[in-house]
Structures are given as C-alpha cells and as structure tokens.
Amino acid sequence: QKEVEQNSGPLSVPEGAIASLNCTYSDRGSQSFFWYRQYSGKSPELIMSIYSNGDKEDGRFTAQLNKASQYVSLLIRDSQPSDSATYLCAVGYSSASKIIFGSGTRLSIRP
C-alpha cells in the first residue's frame, strides 16, 4: 500500500471554476501535511501547509484536513491558466524527520 495516494489525473477544469484535488495517507502518526505545485521541468514549490483538522485558507487556495478519514484536499478558487501544473501532496512524520510525497495530480485549466 502506497503511503500517500493521489489521483494522477489529468483533471481538467474551466477557467474561473473551483479545482478540487484530493489525497489520502496511510500512517495515522502523520503530523504535517503539505501541497506542492510543480510546473513541467521545474522543481516543487510549497504552496500550503496544514497541521490540524479543518480548513486553512491562503488567497485562492484552501487546504482541508480530516485526520479521522486520513484525507487531505486542496481547493483552488477562480482557477487561472497559470494554475495548470502537477500538484503534489506530501505528508510529514516528525519522528522520522522525512516528508513522503504522492505521485501528483496533473491539473489543466482550460480557457
């Protein structure tokens, strides 16, 4: 069983709509959760971090965490063509001092 699972996509969303990206993880001891954005040929860029159950908003981005369901999501409001990228879900285990990544979801925003 993979430690962090994401739907590989591609997920196609019209410009201006809400894009919803989902992720599940297997280790209940996970303590920190991240969303990274990776443009083609570039390195990952941290866009959101969340540590407790509930929602965390930053501009057009909202991260949601449900530890009971072992589920993390990222909502992108008012999607723009520049949001087209691969979104990587990552989970941190502070006791192990490492971050594990999912395989990423490719998001395409169509004009």
Partner 1 sequence: DAGVTQSPTHLIKTRGQQVTLRCSPKSGHDTVSWYQQALGQGPQFIFQYYEEEERQRGNFPDRFSGHQFPNYSSELNVNALLLGDSALYLCASSQGQGAVYGYTFGSGTRLTVV
Residues that bind partner 1 (CB under 8 A): 4, 6, 31-32, 34, 42-46, 49, 51, 88, 90, 92-94, 96-104
Q: Considering the complex, what minimum distance in angstroms separates the CB of residue 58 from partner 1?
A: 13
Question: Cβ closer to partner 1: 51 or 59?
Answer: 51
Please work out, in degrees rounded to the nearest 5, the angle formed at the alpha carbon of residue 107 by the alpha carbons of 50 and 61.
35
Which DSSP symbol is given to 1?
-
Q: Considering the complex, what minimum distance in angstroms separates the CB of residue 5 from partner 1?
A: 10
Question: Cβ closer to partner 1: 88 or 107?
Answer: 88
Q: For CA atoms 70, 8, 98, 48, give the dihedral sign.
A: negative
Query: Which residues are within 8 A (CB) of 58 and not within 5 positions of it... i.e. 6 or more apart?
Result: 47, 48
Question: Cβ closer to partner 1: 17 or 46?
Answer: 46
Q: Considering the complex, what minimum distance in angstroms separates the CB of residue 16 from partner 1?
A: 28
